[in-house]
Chains A and B, each alone.
Chain A
Protein backbone atom coordinates (compact mmCIF):
# COMPACT_ATOMS: atom_id res chain seq x y z
CA UNK A 1 0.00 0.00 0.00
CA UNK A 2 1.25 3.47 -0.83
CA UNK A 3 -0.59 4.99 2.13
CA UNK A 4 0.04 3.50 5.55
CA UNK A 5 -0.77 4.09 9.18
CA UNK A 6 1.56 3.40 12.06
CA UNK A 7 1.39 3.50 15.86
CA UNK A 8 5.15 4.04 16.13
CA UNK A 9 7.63 6.66 14.90
CA UNK A 10 7.77 7.04 11.11
CA UNK A 11 11.01 5.62 9.68
CA UNK A 12 11.75 8.13 6.92
CA UNK A 13 15.04 6.46 5.95
CA UNK A 14 13.27 3.21 5.22
CA UNK A 15 10.33 4.96 3.49
CA UNK A 16 12.62 7.01 1.27
CA UNK A 17 14.34 3.82 0.13
CA UNK A 18 11.09 2.67 -1.49
CA UNK A 19 11.16 5.70 -3.80
CA UNK A 20 14.61 5.05 -5.25
CA UNK A 21 14.63 4.82 -9.04
CA UNK A 22 17.53 5.22 -11.45
CA UNK A 23 15.27 7.29 -13.71
CA UNK A 24 14.59 9.74 -10.87
CA UNK A 25 16.78 12.82 -10.53
CA UNK A 26 14.67 14.42 -7.81
CA UNK A 27 13.14 13.56 -4.46
CA UNK A 28 10.86 15.82 -2.43
CA UNK A 29 9.32 15.10 0.94
CA UNK A 30 7.01 16.74 3.44
CA UNK A 31 6.94 16.19 7.18
CA UNK A 32 4.05 17.36 9.35
CA UNK A 33 5.09 17.94 12.99
CA UNK A 34 3.08 18.34 16.17
CA UNK A 35 3.04 22.08 16.95
CA UNK A 36 2.73 23.61 20.42
CA UNK A 37 -0.13 25.96 19.51
CA UNK A 38 -3.26 26.15 17.37
CA UNK A 39 -5.76 28.97 16.96
CA UNK A 40 -4.65 30.77 20.10
CA UNK A 41 -4.49 27.71 22.32
CA UNK A 42 -1.39 26.12 23.85
CA UNK A 43 -1.29 22.51 22.66
CA UNK A 44 0.40 19.89 24.85
CA UNK A 45 -0.18 16.71 22.81
CA UNK A 46 -2.31 15.20 20.05
CA UNK A 47 -4.23 12.03 19.34
CA UNK A 48 -4.93 10.78 15.83
CA UNK A 49 -7.61 8.25 15.01
CA UNK A 50 -8.29 6.78 11.55
CA UNK A 51 -11.05 4.77 9.93
CA UNK A 52 -8.25 2.69 8.50
CA UNK A 53 -10.05 0.56 5.94
CA UNK A 54 -11.54 3.55 4.13
CA UNK A 55 -8.54 5.78 4.86
CA UNK A 56 -6.25 3.37 3.04
CA UNK A 57 -8.61 3.18 0.05
CA UNK A 58 -9.00 6.95 -0.17
CA UNK A 59 -5.27 7.44 0.33
CA UNK A 60 -4.53 5.00 -2.46
CA UNK A 61 -6.89 6.98 -4.73
CA UNK A 62 -5.00 10.18 -3.86
CA UNK A 63 -1.66 8.59 -4.79
CA UNK A 64 -3.19 7.31 -8.03
CA UNK A 65 -4.53 10.83 -8.76
CA UNK A 66 -1.06 12.28 -8.13
CA UNK A 67 0.59 9.77 -10.46
CA UNK A 68 -1.95 10.62 -13.18
CA UNK A 69 -1.60 14.38 -12.72
CA UNK A 70 2.17 14.67 -12.40
CA UNK A 71 4.92 12.75 -14.23
CA UNK A 72 6.40 11.26 -11.07
CA UNK A 73 7.97 7.85 -10.49
CA UNK A 74 6.88 6.88 -7.00
CA UNK A 75 4.90 8.37 -4.14
CA UNK A 76 4.27 7.25 -0.58
CA UNK A 77 2.45 8.64 2.46
CA UNK A 78 2.74 7.44 6.07
CA UNK A 79 0.49 8.81 8.82
CA UNK A 80 0.81 8.30 12.57
CA UNK A 81 -2.16 7.25 14.67
CA UNK A 82 -2.46 7.16 18.44
CA UNK A 83 -0.96 9.58 20.96
CA UNK A 84 1.74 12.03 19.81
CA UNK A 85 3.92 14.48 21.73
CA UNK A 86 5.06 17.93 20.67
CA UNK A 87 7.67 17.73 17.93
CA UNK A 88 6.67 14.23 16.82
CA UNK A 89 6.22 13.62 13.11
CA UNK A 90 2.52 13.14 12.39
CA UNK A 91 2.72 12.57 8.65
CA UNK A 92 5.34 12.02 5.96
CA UNK A 93 4.95 12.27 2.18
CA UNK A 94 7.71 11.39 -0.28
CA UNK A 95 7.85 11.60 -4.06
CA UNK A 96 10.54 10.76 -6.61
CA UNK A 97 10.55 12.01 -10.20
CA UNK A 98 12.83 12.79 -13.13
CA UNK A 99 12.90 16.52 -12.30
CA UNK A 100 12.32 18.60 -9.14
CA UNK A 101 9.28 20.61 -10.26
CA UNK A 102 6.88 17.70 -10.43
CA UNK A 103 8.28 16.20 -7.22
CA UNK A 104 7.44 19.40 -5.28
CA UNK A 105 4.05 19.72 -6.98
CA UNK A 106 3.00 16.13 -6.38
CA UNK A 107 4.16 16.25 -2.76
CA UNK A 108 2.07 19.38 -2.14
CA UNK A 109 -0.93 17.85 -3.92
CA UNK A 110 -0.78 14.66 -1.85
CA UNK A 111 -0.57 16.33 1.58
CA UNK A 112 -3.34 18.80 0.68
CA UNK A 113 -5.67 16.02 -0.50
CA UNK A 114 -4.86 13.82 2.51
CA UNK A 115 -5.88 16.64 4.85
CA UNK A 116 -9.21 17.11 3.08
CA UNK A 117 -10.27 13.63 2.00
CA UNK A 118 -8.90 10.92 4.26
CA UNK A 119 -10.97 9.90 7.32
CA UNK A 120 -8.45 10.76 10.03
CA UNK A 121 -9.32 12.81 13.09
CA UNK A 122 -7.11 14.87 15.39
CA UNK A 123 -7.79 15.58 19.03
CA UNK A 124 -5.81 18.40 20.57
CA UNK A 125 -5.06 18.48 24.29
CA UNK A 126 -4.54 21.98 25.66
CA UNK A 127 -2.70 23.44 28.63
CA UNK A 128 -5.20 23.54 31.45
CA UNK A 129 -6.72 20.17 30.63
CA UNK A 130 -9.24 21.00 27.91
CA UNK A 131 -9.28 19.04 24.68
CA UNK A 132 -11.10 19.13 21.38
CA UNK A 133 -11.51 17.34 18.06
CA UNK A 134 -10.21 19.68 15.35
CA UNK A 135 -12.90 20.88 12.90
CA UNK A 136 -15.64 19.24 15.00
CA UNK A 137 -16.08 20.96 18.33
CA UNK A 138 -16.55 24.61 17.42
CA UNK A 139 -18.98 23.86 14.63
CA UNK A 140 -20.79 21.46 16.91
CA UNK A 141 -20.99 23.96 19.75
CA UNK A 142 -22.66 26.55 17.56
CA UNK A 143 -24.12 24.77 14.53
CA UNK A 144 -26.60 27.55 13.75
CA UNK A 145 -24.17 30.43 13.58
CA UNK A 146 -23.22 29.46 10.05
CA UNK A 147 -26.83 29.90 8.98
CA UNK A 148 -27.11 33.31 10.59
CA UNK A 149 -23.81 34.64 9.29
Chain B
Protein backbone atom coordinates (compact mmCIF):
# COMPACT_ATOMS: atom_id res chain seq x y z
CA UNK B 1 0.00 0.00 0.00
CA UNK B 2 0.98 3.63 -0.36
CA UNK B 3 1.49 5.96 2.59
CA UNK B 4 2.28 9.65 2.70
CA UNK B 5 5.02 10.64 5.14
CA UNK B 6 5.89 14.16 6.29
CA UNK B 7 9.18 14.91 8.03
CA UNK B 8 9.93 17.76 10.40
CA UNK B 9 12.97 19.31 12.08
CA UNK B 10 15.91 16.94 12.67
CA UNK B 11 14.18 14.13 10.79
CA UNK B 12 13.50 16.36 7.77
CA UNK B 13 17.19 17.18 7.62
CA UNK B 14 18.27 13.55 8.02
CA UNK B 15 15.78 12.31 5.41
CA UNK B 16 16.77 15.15 3.07
CA UNK B 17 13.12 15.82 2.25
CA UNK B 18 9.99 17.14 3.91
CA UNK B 19 7.59 14.59 2.47
CA UNK B 20 7.35 11.51 0.33
CA UNK B 21 4.96 8.78 -0.73
CA UNK B 22 6.22 5.30 0.07
CA UNK B 23 5.13 1.87 -1.10
CA UNK B 24 5.29 -0.38 1.94
CA UNK B 25 4.01 -3.54 3.53
CA UNK B 26 4.45 -2.06 7.03
CA UNK B 27 1.34 -2.91 9.05
CA UNK B 28 1.87 -0.36 11.81
CA UNK B 29 3.75 2.93 12.41
CA UNK B 30 6.27 0.91 14.43
CA UNK B 31 6.97 -1.35 11.42
CA UNK B 32 7.17 1.69 9.16
CA UNK B 33 9.73 3.41 11.38
CA UNK B 34 11.79 0.25 11.35
CA UNK B 35 11.92 0.42 7.54
CA UNK B 36 12.72 4.13 7.42
CA UNK B 37 15.41 4.14 10.11
CA UNK B 38 17.30 1.61 8.00
CA UNK B 39 16.92 3.75 4.87
CA UNK B 40 17.80 7.15 6.34
CA UNK B 41 19.93 6.30 9.38
CA UNK B 42 17.73 8.44 11.66
CA UNK B 43 19.54 9.02 14.95
CA UNK B 44 16.38 9.15 17.07
CA UNK B 45 15.17 5.82 18.39
CA UNK B 46 11.47 5.00 18.25
CA UNK B 47 11.30 5.36 22.03
CA UNK B 48 12.19 9.05 21.65
CA UNK B 49 9.39 9.73 19.18
CA UNK B 50 5.64 10.06 19.09
CA UNK B 51 3.67 9.33 15.95
CA UNK B 52 0.66 10.94 14.28
CA UNK B 53 -1.60 9.37 11.66
CA UNK B 54 -3.85 11.66 9.62
CA UNK B 55 -2.89 14.64 11.81
CA UNK B 56 -3.81 13.08 15.14
CA UNK B 57 -1.60 11.38 17.75
CA UNK B 58 -1.64 7.62 17.27
CA UNK B 59 -0.58 4.41 18.97
CA UNK B 60 2.48 2.72 17.46
CA UNK B 61 0.43 -0.46 17.04
CA UNK B 62 -2.38 1.12 14.98
CA UNK B 63 -3.18 -0.71 11.72
CA UNK B 64 -2.13 1.49 8.81
CA UNK B 65 -4.40 1.81 5.79
CA UNK B 66 -3.86 2.78 2.16
CA UNK B 67 -3.37 6.53 1.85
CA UNK B 68 -2.73 7.25 5.54
CA UNK B 69 -0.54 10.28 6.28
CA UNK B 70 2.13 9.50 8.87
CA UNK B 71 4.30 11.95 10.83
CA UNK B 72 7.01 10.91 13.28
CA UNK B 73 7.31 13.50 16.03
CA UNK B 74 10.76 14.16 17.52
CA UNK B 75 11.03 15.56 21.08
CA UNK B 76 9.31 18.95 20.97
CA UNK B 77 10.74 22.31 22.06
CA UNK B 78 8.18 25.07 21.77
CA UNK B 79 8.28 28.34 23.66
Q: Interface on A for B, CB 8 Å cutoff?
A: 32, 48-51, 53-54, 57-58, 79, 90-91, 111, 114-123, 133-137, 139-141, 143
Contacts and interface: CB of A to CB of B under 8 A. Distances in A.
Given A57-B55, A140-B43, A135 B8 contact: no
B16 interface: no
8 contacts: A49-B12, A57-B56, A91-B78, A114-B78, A121-B74, A121-B76, A136-B75, A139-B44
B77 A135 contact: yes
Interface residues of B, number: 21
B64 interface: no
Interface in B28-73: 43-45, 48, 52, 55-57, 71, 73
B78 A118 contact: yes
B6 interface: yes
B1 interface: no
A116 B76 contact: yes
B73 A143 contact: no
Given A54-B52, A54-B56, A141-B43, A79 B78 contact: yes
A134 B77 CA distance: 6
B74 A136 contact: yes
Interface in B1-32: 6, 8-10, 12
B55 A90 contact: no
A123 B9 contact: yes
Given A51-B52, A133-B74, A135-B76, A121 B43 contact: no
Given A49-B9, A53-B55, A136-B9, A120 B71 contact: no
A114 B78 CA distance: 7
Contacts of B74: 121, 133, 135-136
Contact of A49 (B8, B57, B71): B8
A133 B12 CA distance: 11
Contact of A54 (B43, B48, B71, B78): B71
Contacts of B57: 54, 58
Nearest to B6: A51
B79 A139 contact: no
